[in-house]
Structure 1
Amino acid sequence: MPTTLSAEPLRATFRIPKRKKHVPAVRARVRETLVKWGLEQLAPDVELVASELITNAVIHCRVSFAEVQVTVHVDWGELVLEVSDPDRARLPQLGECRAEGDEEGGRGLLLVAALSDSWGCRELKYGKCVWARFRTVREPAEGST
């Protein structure tokens, strides 16, 4: 009997109140989702990027009583992580690392850029979405067989 592929897309969406205390729970849900989809090899990087993007949304969104939406889906061989919030006026900008001893913070998007294959943001009708993409299949390293 031939095997049929599921018509159900690999997509999960979570909404949380704009509070720091909810970040670890979303991180855990992202990990659970990746394991369920058989993409656990991506979990450490995706979890860390999710944590950074969600924390940025929670800290920088100036809309009172807002919710942050996190969507994870597979699109053409890439895992896409999207974090949306209703503050359209404040788009993220990649900053420069501060010198040692400077206040903590400002390095999150550098981490996102280093761990993901690509990242960016887009304006939505009522907010913004910051996204990161991760290839689900890695190219073999040079010299490996």
Structure 2
Amino acid sequence: MRFTSTPRGARLARRLVSHRLDDWGYPYTTPVNETLTLITSELTANAVRHGHVPGRDFHVQLTLAEGTFRIEVTDTRAEKLPLASPPEADSLSESGRGMLLVATLADAWGISPRRAAPGKTVWAELHVRTKGHPLTHRAAPEPTDVDLLLATASLLRDDLGSRPEDASHGGRRR
């Protein structure tokens, strides 16, 4: 799916991946769902923060093939590549450790040039025991307009507390 290169787009991508995993038989509180959701969160946050080009979106693809989940996040900025290990940072720094988390949680990760356009794809793989799931290639079915509307409406209802008009002093939620 394609998402706007904004924090809201990254949040929506993360939630849709978690919902898709639940649909595929990996409930929200399972280690597989939680791990892939965290990896997705880091990759999409990087796409928004470091891979953003004004007016360009980022893409997310989740597949399961032969017991391996693969999450791919594609952005339009080829010159800014993620670092496997962050440079020495202040221990109080709030950023700079995302790819370290991905490298720790994923069984493999890497970077590929974007096909047929400028940019890159950052991917991560997680091997899982299928517990009765067939070991065949599974990809998200093409959503219908109704599916997209229902999913978006559901996710937006979950996010009502983050609207600016709901904020109180200092931007904090009530």
TM score, norm. by length of structure 1: 0.79
> Corresponding residue for 2:139?
none
Residue deviations 1:30-80 (CA, integer Å, cap 9, x gap) = 111011111333110000110100000001124211111000001222000
* Larger RCO (CA within 8 A; separation ≥ 6): 1
Please identify, of 47-56 and 14-23, the stretch whose mean Cα deviation from structure 2 is larger: 14-23
> Corresponding residue for 2:113?
123
> Corresponding residue for 1:48?
38
Match of 1:54, SS state, is helix
2:75, 2:82 → 1: CA distance? 12
> Corresponding residue for 1:108?
98
2:52, 2:104 → 1: CA distance? 27
> Corresponding residue for 1:4?
none
2:9, 2:80 → 1: CA distance? 21
8 A contact 1:73–1:80 mirrored in 2: yes
TM score, norm. by length of structure 2: 0.66
> Corresponding residue for 1:6?
none
1:16 and 2:3 aligned: yes
Task: Give the fraction of aligned pairs with identical amino acids, expressed as a percent.
Answer: 31
8 A contact 1:39–1:136 mirrored in 2: no
> Corresponding residue for 1:75?
65
Higher percent of residues as helix? 2
1:86, 1:58 → 2: CA distance? 10
1:33, 1:21 → 2: CA distance? 18
> Corresponding residue for 2:80?
90
Is the alpha carbon distance of 1:24 and 1:62 closer, same or farther for their aligned partners in structure 2, counting shifts above 3 Å?
closer
Higher percent of residues as strand? 1
Residue deviations 1:118-139 (CA, integer Å, cap 9, x gap) = 111111242100000011218x
Residue deviations 1:77-133 (CA, integer Å, cap 9, x gap) = 2000000011122221112363422x2211000000111111111112421000000
Pick aligned residue for 1:64 from 54, 77, 83: 54
1:62, 1:90 → 2: CA distance? 10
